[in-house]
Amino acid sequence: MQRRDFLSSALALAAASTLPAARADVVSGGQPWEPGKASVPPLAAPRQGGLAFFTQAELDMAGALADRLIPADDLSIGGKEAGCAVFIDRQLAGDYGKGATLYRLGRFVKGTPEQGTQSPFTPAERWRKGLAAIDAYCGRAYSKPFVQLDASQQDDLLHAMENGTLDLGREVETKELFEQILANVREGFFADPLYGGNKNMASWKMIGFPGARYDFRDLIGKKGQKLQIIPTSLVDNTL
């Protein structure tokens, strides 16, 4: 078998990617399973303290946005306290932020709504440009940055973004930006605390989701009943 020379030559035609790579190999004569090997998620450093992508001002702004999208009330803590901004910071530093899975070859032409986004920017670039554009707008309209607006002004601005009525300049698709911010904030609120958000599994307790539990054979018979399961998470990496 010539697997060694097949594998050792390195003419890198394939575009470099940070996507997870397992064994490139010729496998035969049994399953190449090795004890003690587990496929753990790639996590952006730092996991405890410090910023991975955002500046402090951007982090504060992401936290303020998260607190309007998911405000504190008697159902749960707010998005900021839950760690949504920290979660987003780490996500944007990693493969997600870099757009590692996106098709990013040109030409970039605006299409029909059915054809989906044709943005040339990565999610990290969209956040950075988007936050700057929102703050520039707040500077013009209120002579203040977003974080210093009161809650109802912040809500008005978010409504205008959601409806696509706010013009954030040539480089920012307002509605797409709003949808991305909302999606990432929700992810931070609901993903396993492993990723830095969902502090104390607050969101799971709010809706009654049991989290990282893998066996319900003992409960499937209890149909239509409130189950009161105490949730479990994988690892807690919240600050």
232: helix, strand or coil:
strand
Per CB under 8 A, 140 contacts other proteins? no
CB contact at 8 A, 226 and 210: no
197: helix, strand or coil:
coil
Per CB under 8 A, 41 contacts other proteins? yes
Tell which residue, 193, 124, 154, 186, has the closest CA to residue 61. 154
Using CB under 8 A as the binding rule, the residues of this chain from 63 to 102 that contact other proteins are: 68-71, 73, 75-76, 95-96, 100-102
User: Is 143 or 224 the residue whose CB approaches other proteins more closely?
Assistant: 224
User: Is 143 or 207 the residue whose CB approaches other proteins more closely?
Assistant: 207
**In angstroms, what is the minimal distance from the CB of 100 to other proteins?**
7
**In angstroms, what is the minimal distance from the CB of 57 to other proteins?**
23
User: Is 50 or 116 the residue whose CB approaches other proteins more closely?
Assistant: 116
Per CB under 8 A, 116 contacts other proteins? yes
Measured in whole angstroms, the distance separating CA 178 from the mean position of its chain's CA atoms is 14
Per CB under 8 A, 114 contacts other proteins? yes
Task: Write out the H or E segment, with its range, that includes residue 109.
Answer: none
Rg (CA), the chain: 22
Piece of the chain touching other proteins by CB under 8 A; list 26-34, 46-54, 55-63, 133-141 = 26-34
Name the region of 167 (left: φ>0; alpha: ψ -120 to 50; beta: rest).
beta
Tell which residue, 133, 124, 145, has the closest CA to residue 173. 133
User: Is 143 or 218 the residue whose CB approaches other proteins more closely?
Assistant: 218
Using CB under 8 A as the binding rule, the residues of this chain from 197 to 236 that contact other proteins are: 203-204, 206-217, 219-227, 234
Using CB under 8 A as the binding rule, the residues of this chain from 144 to 163 that contact other proteins are: 155, 158, 162
**In angstroms, what is the minimal distance from the CB of 122 to other proteins?**
11
CA atoms within 13 A on the CB side of 145: 10
**In angstroms, what is the minimal distance from the CB of 148 to other proteins?**
20
* Burial environment of residue 211 by CB neighbours within 10 A (0 to 12, 13 to 18, 19 or more): middle
Task: Write out the H or E segment, with its range, that includes residue 126.
Answer: helix 123-142
**In angstroms, what is the minimal distance from the CB of 180 to other proteins?**
11
Per CB under 8 A, 4 contacts other proteins? no
